[in-house]
Chains A and B, each alone.
Chain A
Amino acid sequence: MKRAFTVHTVLQFIFLMVFWLLLSGHYDLFHILMGVVSALLVTAMNLRLRRFHFYREEIQQVEARLKRQFPVTLRPLRFLYYIVWLFWQIVVASLQVAYAVLSPRMPIDPSLVIFKTRLPNTSARVILGNSITLTPGTITVQLRDDEFLVHALMDVSASGILDGSLPGQVARLYEKTPGQVVGNTTIIRSKRDM
């Protein structure tokens, strides 16, 4: 565990350094040294933060890698595909929301959707939660363990979640053939049902 933590710290430093070099654009000794100092400072400030739950899982993955095991990790090519796919979903959903906002009758029908997911780890759940919020028409209001609470502006906005396509895509980032990802769905449509 300790070794994995060190490796993870070094990886973080390297990542920050690359980021600095990208942003600075000056490649002389003085500016690079300044980058080293800032990256070290940020890494030092993060040391204590990284002992908490979200990072712990990440560090456990590093540990498994060091032991030559292959944990369930993000598949990079699939992730590239996912970004393109998500961008397309965002475009489609934006047009739907734009139509709803501009139409004089304003055909909105908000609902709260509660559902449980079966995703392999915390990162996957965060990716799903952020993707839902990033797609216009749906917002993740609450995420507790496996349970999502989503506010949807229209029925058509929530359909991508209810038929399991968005959660399915997220699960496929980690596993080749995920099973049923979404379950226990409840839809709330009036204040009395809350």
Chain B
Amino acid sequence: MGISSIIAVILISLGTFFMAVGSIGLIRLPDFYSRAHAQGKVDTLALILIILGLMVYEGFTLNSVKLLLIVVFVALTNPTGTNALTNAAYRFGLRPWFKRDQRGQKKPGGRK
């Protein structure tokens, strides 16, 4: 195993970790807006890390340039999609969950 494989494995493992965090957040967080954070964003870093790992594994070839293009397009489209979702929710009139409104009510993430 060369040094590039080791770096690739580390990067991809980190990426998988953030993917898992995103999925856990999707279940634990209280409302639509905060779930959009977990789902759309932690995943951004995860995807960038995984693809960087693949690029290191692949070496400097045309394929790694294509992988880099995937990163660029994900970085451009992912926020646009998240913005479209949350903007639609906001226009529909969905109000965010606030901590201050929760006094005397059950905690988020607790047993339902």
Interface residues on B, range: 35 or more
Is B44 within 8 A of A90, CB to CB? yes
From DSSP, what is the main secondary structure of chain A's interface residues?
A: mixed
Is B80 within 8 A of A130, CB to CB? yes
Residues of B within 8 A of A191 (CB): 95, 98, 101
The residue on A at minimum CB distance from B79 is A133
Across the A-B interface, how many residue pairs have beta carbons closer than 8 Å? 120
A102 CB-CB contact with B under 8 Å:
yes
Residues of B within 8 A of A110 (CB): 31, 33-34, 96-99
Q: Which of B24, B98, B101 has the most CB of A within 10 A?
A: B98
Q: What's the Cα separation between A141 and B28 when bound, in Å?
A: 21
Interface residues on A, range: 35 or more
Q: Which of A98, A139, A140 contacts B18 (CB 8 A)?
A: A98
Residues of A within 8 A of B30 (CB): 108
Q: What's the Cα separation between A133 and B82 when bound, in Å?
A: 7
B21 CB-CB contact with A under 8 Å:
yes
Residues of A within 8 A of B100 (CB): 189-190
Residues of B within 8 A of A136 (CB): 37, 41-42, 44-45
**With A25-B62, A101-B24 given, is the CB distance from A142 to B87 under 8 Å?**
yes
Is B42 within 8 A of A108, CB to CB? no
Is B24 within 8 A of A137, CB to CB? no
Is B75 within 8 A of A101, CB to CB? no
Q: Which of A94, A108, A140 contacts B83 (CB 8 A)?
A: A140
Is B99 within 8 A of A134, CB to CB? no
The residue on A at minimum CB distance from B97 is A110
B56 CB-CB contact with A under 8 Å:
no
A23 CB-CB contact with B under 8 Å:
yes
Q: Which of B21, B25, B31, B45 contacts A90 (CB 8 A)?
A: B45
Q: Which of A22, A94, A142, A143 contacts B41 (CB 8 A)?
A: A94
Is A108 within 8 A of B38, CB to CB? no
- The residues of B with any CB-CB pair to A shorter than 8 Å are 18, 21, 24-25, 28-31, 33-34, 36-38, 40-42, 44-45, 48, 62, 65-66, 69, 75-76, 78-80, 82-83, 86-87, 90, 95-101, 108-109
Please name 14 pairs of A and B residues whose Cβ atoms are closer than 8 Å in the assembled complex, sorted by A. A25-B62, A94-B45, A97-B42, A104-B109, A106-B28, A106-B109, A133-B41, A133-B82, A136-B42, A139-B82, A139-B86, A140-B79, A141-B87, A153-B37
Which 7 interchain pairs have the tightest Cβ spacing? Answer: A133-B79, A136-B41, A101-B25, A190-B100, A130-B79, A94-B45, A98-B21
